[in-house]
Amino acid sequence: MIRPKVTIKRAHEILETAEEICPASAVSVAVSRVASEINQSLANANPLLMVVMRGAVVFAGQLLPLLDFPLELDYIDATRYGDSTSGGEITFHATPVSNVAGRVVLLVDDILDEGITLKAIRDKLLAMQARKVMIAVFADKQTGKTKPLSADFIGVTLPNRYVFGYGMDVYGYWRNLPSVYALRE
């Protein structure tokens, strides 16, 4: 399904009718806990932190200052949504500049939904000869379906609803919200 063009007025209406399902205070606690887990696990691994654009920008931006070890940073841009609200074929818009060969890569994304895009990214990094790819997601959506991978670090678990905020968008808007919302069913 092609995403409709949404006006600013409509974007405000969407937020006004949405349900807050993860308030900013819970987001902050989850990010701190994930950072602590990553600090314990990767402090001596010399990891390359790989941010998935665009959704993971908010999560990565708040996570990075909480990591207390040296790391390198890069990004990858892959999507299977484009202008659609349902997934299609995966398109890579940008691949890492860094040499991942022999490295431990921490792949950071906003949400583990069906897992198809994250699996494709992980497989690409492994094909580029990353030694190990670990995954940190802010949210794991409970879809009720088997996923092709799981995350090593998970901030929150969300219900199987269309969610937005904290990096996740609705029709291209509201990635900047400090809380997570779900469209009314």
| 98-153 per-position pLDDT tens digit | 899 999 999 999 999 999 999 999 999 999 999 999 999 999 999 999 999 999 99
Does a structural domain hold residue 24?
yes
The total number of structural domains in the chain stands at 1
- CATH number of domain containing 88: 3.40.50.2020
Does a structural domain hold residue 3?
no
What is the rounded distance in angstroms from the CA atom of residue 20 to the CA atom of residue 161? 12
3-state SS of the chain is CECCCCCHHHHHHHHHHCEEEECHHHHHHHHHHHHHHHHHHHCCCCCEEEEEECCCHHHHHHHHHHCCCCCEEEEEEEECCCCECCCCCCEEEECCCCCCECCEEEEEEEEECCCHHHHHHHHHHHHCCECEEEEEEEEEECCCCCCCCCCCEEEEEECCCCEEECCECECCECCCCCCEEECCC
- Segment 46-66 mean pLDDT: 96
Q: What are the pLDDT digits (tens) for 5-29?
A: 889 999 999 999 999 999 999 999 9
Length of the chain, in residues: 185
Does a structural domain hold residue 32?
yes
pLDDT at residue 130, rounded to an integer: 97
Does a structural domain hold residue 2?
no
Q: Which domain holds residue 122?
A: 8-182
Contacts of 97 (CB under 8 A, 6+ apart): 74
Cβ–Cβ under 8 Å, residues 124 and 92: yes
Beta-bridge mates of residue 78: 92
Does a structural domain hold residue 1?
no
pTM exceeding 0.85: yes
Listed residue (38, 40, 46) closest to 64, CA to CA: 38
Does a structural domain hold residue 65?
yes
Does a structural domain hold residue 104?
yes
Does a structural domain hold residue 64?
yes
